[in-house]
Structure 1
Amino acid sequence: MKRVFFVVSVLALAASLAFAGGGQAKGNKGVTFTIALSEDIRAIDPGVAWNYVTNQVTNQITEGLLTLDGSNNIVPELAKSWRQADDLTYVYEVRDDIVFSDGTKMTMDDVVFSLERNRDPDGGTYFSDFYADVASISATGPWQLTIKLNNPSAVFKYIPAIGAGRIISKAYYQKHADNFGTAEGGIIATGPFVYKSWTSGQEIVLAKNTNYWNKAKLQANIIDTVVYKIIPDDTTRVVALQTGSVDFCANIPPEMLDQLQADKSLNMTIAPSYQLTYLAMNTQRAPMNDVNVRKAISHVLNLDEFQRNIIKTAGSAGTVLPFGAALYGNDAAKWQQYLNTAPKYDYDLAKARQALAQSAYPNGFNCDVIISESSLASSRALFLQEALKPLNINVEIRKMSGDEQDTYQMGGVMDSNGYRDYDMLIGGWEADYPDLNGNIEIMFVSSQAGEDGYNAAAYVNPRVDNLIETQRSQTDPVKRFDIQKQLMDIIVNDTPYIVYDYSLRQSVLNKKYTGLAVSSAWLWVLPVQNIRAAN
């Protein structure tokens, strides 16, 4: 799973241009619904929708063969049905009544093209690694798609239901190959809304797709226009919710949850999530390439205290596991037992000093940490800075925009020796599907350690690579857990990351409306078309 660094070069030049494609009701005086985003989007392209904000936009414009319901079950969307014929074969019966927003009919060519684009490492999307096990994608009937795998996979079943499986118009993409997904080029797809305009750093505007294929949902959809307001400042975003300037937000600052919950004009939904926030220590560069330094840091952070005082009800304190309880699945009891017996990253200053004494830096050192400009990231960094002072480890906090921090997190900035240009980084990850592989493969596989990868600790361990691959292809749940347990034993001992906390996901909706709230699958399922007037 590899996110290719993507820059939309024409944003500043043409971001405010209106887009003429797609269907929209003329003169209709329906509802304009406004959503607050914490940062700008990357593109109007589901292929790069992987940063908590872009997906909120592209999910309204695009759809996949499958989707996830409120209980994370895989259900049909653009497909009528699907089945796993054997360990290596998936068959999808595709609907024959789908039209794109420009009124043209969706064909099997569009379906195959869209999935092959995501599969192609040079296709301009972030999703090629999701197709690493795929041998072929082909139309095996007038409206039948068959995907063959090279190896069994415990997780491939989810791929057509997430961003990696979104269908776009092949003809439109090929006609706009040079500017697809930009403010000028836009996109044509099958979803309930169409792209209209994007003003860089300010707003994105969508309109109801009057050609939407699901006529029952189209008739019930009260929203004519969706406006996404880009509001990076946490306080300003909260004020916008409280004053009614925006109607919905899923990017809520945890330290302001109490304030929002007390507001009688707002409804808050809290759902389990697959997200965690971590401290990544750059294992390829001194001093963090010393395992004893990393172990010293793991014993100097009082994560329970941080959770009680800062995170509060927004999540639970981190443990040695790089995934929270929402990803335990059917192995919940086993993972809890593992936590009871595994070594802990517990707060113990004596242990911390002992570990540092065994390192190459017994007298401490100077280092830096990269963070985004959010208020919670600052709280995490200040907590880290203060906690390391007794070890004579002096931390310089390097604060930057969310986009810049993401660039560092994905290895977009290297030093003169070819290493990631930071000592530590406070970042996070959220699995794309309800399986812990969605965390461990991204965070620990060595192919993600270099440039354009999301292994923010730059952690490389061939045995871990092998175990990650083996557990992904193991479909027997008992055997798979045993492999994952071996994997965790190695990772816990090597300490490339320290998990601050496992997040809950909150969303806030103006009480004028009902029908929109986050779930654990919110990255790919947040349907604005389900909104209804409260009265």
Structure 2
Amino acid sequence: MSDARPGNTPRSRTTPRRLLTVLAAATALATSACSGVAHPGAAGAAAYQLTPTTPPAAGGIDSFTWSLFAEPTSIDYAYSFDFPPNQILANVCESLLRWNPDLTTSPGLAASYSNPTPTTWVYRIRSGVHFHDGTVLTADDVVASLRRNLDPAVAGDWAYPFRNVQSIDKTGPMEVTVTLKTPDSTFNKYLAASPGTVESAATLAKDGKDYGNPADGVNCTGPFAFSSWTPGQSLVLKRFDDYWDPALKAKSAQVKFVFLSDPTTRVNAFRTGEVDGGWMVPPDAYGQLRDSPAGTLYFGQNTTVADEVVNDLKGPLGDARVRQALLMAIDRKGIVKAGAGGVGDVADSLVTANNWNGAPGSAAADALKALPAYPYDPAKAKALARQAGVSGQKVVIATSPLDSQTAIITQAVAQAATDIGLKPQIDTISADKYTALFTDPAARQGVNLFLTFWYTSITDPLDMYGSLQTGAFSNYGNWSDPAFDAAVDQAVGAYDPAAHAAATAQAQQIAMTQLPWLPLYTEPVSVFLGKRITGVQPSIAYLYYPWAAAIGARG
């Protein structure tokens, strides 16, 4: 995330560094080690295969190295809202609940929980859990950790999930009760991600504003403990031998994260064995790593959708018909083929099918069937745009020189704009200015469209659609629809799965008709494992689940 952290409901998921690397989640791969769902390519061949797990480790290992595309600015959970810090903290700190690789939720540091009233959540804290300094987890630690998300002095990046929280209190020796201002069906789900992180209250008090920095690190309960951080080079974790969960005791004595910002350097490190693995493989290396004896490339479940954010609803894109025409004129299949190595699918909505896991019966399928379709049809798109009064108006498309995929997407969107009678202007800006698009309204002035890769941190479409409510921080174009707002509010307040799904489907229907953002395509998570290691479960849950604990020696 950018260092510019608003103190009110931040929702941006994308920085230029993330944009660069999330585009790397693609290649054509089918190996004997993979078993999972095959996704056909454009010509009917298997372009990629989702793999729920890799071969289990044959035994322990002294250490392994892992690449990060950027160095975190902090590993304070309150400010961990991007790939580098989250994939580290997922192995060091734990939350009250656990988001599993199959995108289900289960108990974590809370041994159990209940929802006795629509505005009350009660958490029974697991006993016998030790922090890395040897002290024992208590309800006081949970209260102190969760309350930081409400503290305006902290101004954390996870204020949004706590927007409906009235109080967080210790109500028993090992019990914490969260009282809500209004029913919120998403609150408990967020406690399986960073919002539910538990740190030692004593450590938080002692470290203060230095908490999470390279000198002090963190003191949590996960299978690995913070060991050292050499700025500009690496961060080292060591195995925590007193970890409470036998199923996730670390198989490696150490993990060394190395900061390799240059994609070519990362790929060379994979090929030579200098680095044992990494998430989000650079796209230019797909073919190299697919055929490399250095290791294996895998793909897993994701909740990411590539979108063009419509930033200016007062200009030519203010008419929904123009937005619909633009989406129909974008060759999204061509983008997947040329920009994502054929690995991905044209997006039917602003969320993936995975987000609907747990919806009752045919609710998800029915919601998808009801959505308007926008097949590639430049002629029809141009006619619709003409009806809406398009006649050569200028649209500015912001981009940054990050990689070939970014350029391909930008050019495809610009071509579509031309095809429907608009005059596109591509505004290529530096990485730091591109970051500002997500945090600073002034930076977005004069921009009509910009690219984002948006993932959800819970298995619920509301994590996306709540971002588009009137006044939401990440509603960058200030889109407003009272019926949409009402549907989202109804879904948030509905604990009944059927009512929740129905209201969410209504919100999705409105969003996909009005198109405040233009969905392009979805793509899987990618991970490369060198020939020394195995055991990881490929999934977007790696941002919150202790994925490194399962990695050990390859047999």
Report whether the alignment pairs 1:517 with 2:548: no
1:487 to 491, 507, 512: 507
SS in 2 for 1:249: strand
Question: Which residue is 1:528 aligned to?
Answer: 548
User: 1:315: how far off?
Assistant: 1.7
Q: What percentage of aligned pairs have identical amino acids?
A: 23
Report whether the alignment pairs 1:264 with 2:284: no
Report whether the alignment pairs 1:31 with 2:59: no
d(CA) in 2 for partners of 1:187 and 1:365?
50
1:88-107 alignment runs, 5 A limit: 88-107=119-138
Which amino acid counterpart does residue 417 of structure 2 have in structure 1? L
Asked whether the 8 Å contact 1:136–1:147 carries over to 2, the reply is yes
Question: Which residue is 1:286 aligned to?
Answer: 315
Report whether the alignment pairs 1:60 with 2:88: no
d(CA) in 2 for partners of 1:382 and 1:201?
35
SS in 2 for 1:475: coil
d(CA) in 2 for partners of 1:341 and 1:466?
19
Question: Which residue is 1:3 aligned to?
Answer: 10
1:325 to 353, 374, 381: 353
Gaps of at least 5 residues in structure 1 are: 7-28
d(CA) in 2 for partners of 1:285 and 1:35?
46
Question: Which residue is 2:426 aligned to?
Answer: 396
d(CA) in 1 for partners of 2:69 and 2:123?
37
2:190 to 133, 149, 159: 159
Asked whether the 8 Å contact 1:285–1:423 carries over to 2, the reply is no
d(CA) in 1 for partners of 2:107 and 2:508?
35
- What is the TM-score of this pair, normalised by structure 1? 0.85
**1:200–1:397 distance in 2 versus 1, CA, 3 Å:** farther
Question: Which residue is 2:456 aligned to?
Answer: 431
Gaps of at least 5 residues in structure 2 are: 1-7, 14-59
Report whether the alignment pairs 1:83 with 2:111: no
2:407 to 346, 365, 378: 378
Report whether the alignment pairs 1:440 with 2:440: no
Which amino acid counterpart does residue 98 of structure 1 have in structure 2? V
Asked whether the 8 Å contact 2:92–2:222 carries over to 1, the reply is yes
**1:457–1:296 distance in 2 versus 1, CA, 3 Å:** same
SS in 2 for 1:521: helix
User: 1:94: how far off?
Assistant: 1.3
Taking only aligned residues, the RMSD between alpha carbons, in angstroms, comes to 2.8
**1:474–1:372 distance in 2 versus 1, CA, 3 Å:** farther
Asked whether the 8 Å contact 2:250–2:551 carries over to 1, the reply is yes
Instruction: Count residues in correspondence.
Output: 500
Q: For CA contacts below 8 A with separation 6 or more, give which structure has more relative contact order.
A: 2
1:456-475 alignment runs, 5 A limit: 456-475=476-495
Which amino acid counterpart does residue 327 of structure 1 have in structure 2? N
**1:331–1:173 distance in 2 versus 1, CA, 3 Å:** same
Report whether the alignment pairs 1:69 with 2:100: yes
d(CA) in 1 for partners of 2:365 and 2:545?
29
In the TM superposition, what whole-angstrom CA distance separates every residue of 1:486-505 from its partner, at most 9, and x where no partner exists? 32332223221111111211
User: 1:471: how far off?
Assistant: 1.0
**1:172–1:339 distance in 2 versus 1, CA, 3 Å:** closer
d(CA) in 2 for partners of 1:201 and 1:288?
43
User: 1:190: how far off?
Assistant: 1.8
Which amino acid counterpart does residue 512 of structure 1 have in structure 2? R
**1:501–1:209 distance in 2 versus 1, CA, 3 Å:** same
Larger mean CA deviation between 278-287 and 352-361 belongs to 352-361
- What is the TM-score of this pair, normalised by structure 2? 0.82
Which amino acid counterpart does residue 431 of structure 1 have in structure 2? T
Which amino acid counterpart does residue 445 of structure 1 have in structure 2? Q
Asked whether the 8 Å contact 1:118–1:128 carries over to 2, the reply is yes
Which amino acid counterpart does residue 252 of structure 1 have in structure 2? V
d(CA) in 2 for partners of 1:426 and 1:84?
39
**1:420–1:143 distance in 2 versus 1, CA, 3 Å:** farther
Asked whether the 8 Å contact 1:121–1:128 carries over to 2, the reply is no
d(CA) in 1 for partners of 2:223 and 2:271?
28
Asked whether the 8 Å contact 2:363–2:502 carries over to 1, the reply is no
User: 1:427: how far off?
Assistant: 0.5
Question: Which residue is 2:278 aligned to?
Answer: 249
Asked whether the 8 Å contact 2:312–2:447 carries over to 1, the reply is no
Which amino acid counterpart does residue 41 of structure 1 have in structure 2? P
Asked whether the 8 Å contact 1:518–1:526 carries over to 2, the reply is no
User: 1:156: how far off?
Assistant: 2.4
Larger mean CA deviation between 482-491 and 421-430 belongs to 482-491
Report whether the alignment pairs 1:119 with 2:150: yes
d(CA) in 2 for partners of 1:375 and 1:231?
19
Which amino acid counterpart does residue 469 of structure 2 have in structure 1? V
**1:339–1:89 distance in 2 versus 1, CA, 3 Å:** closer
Asked whether the 8 Å contact 2:101–2:539 carries over to 1, the reply is yes
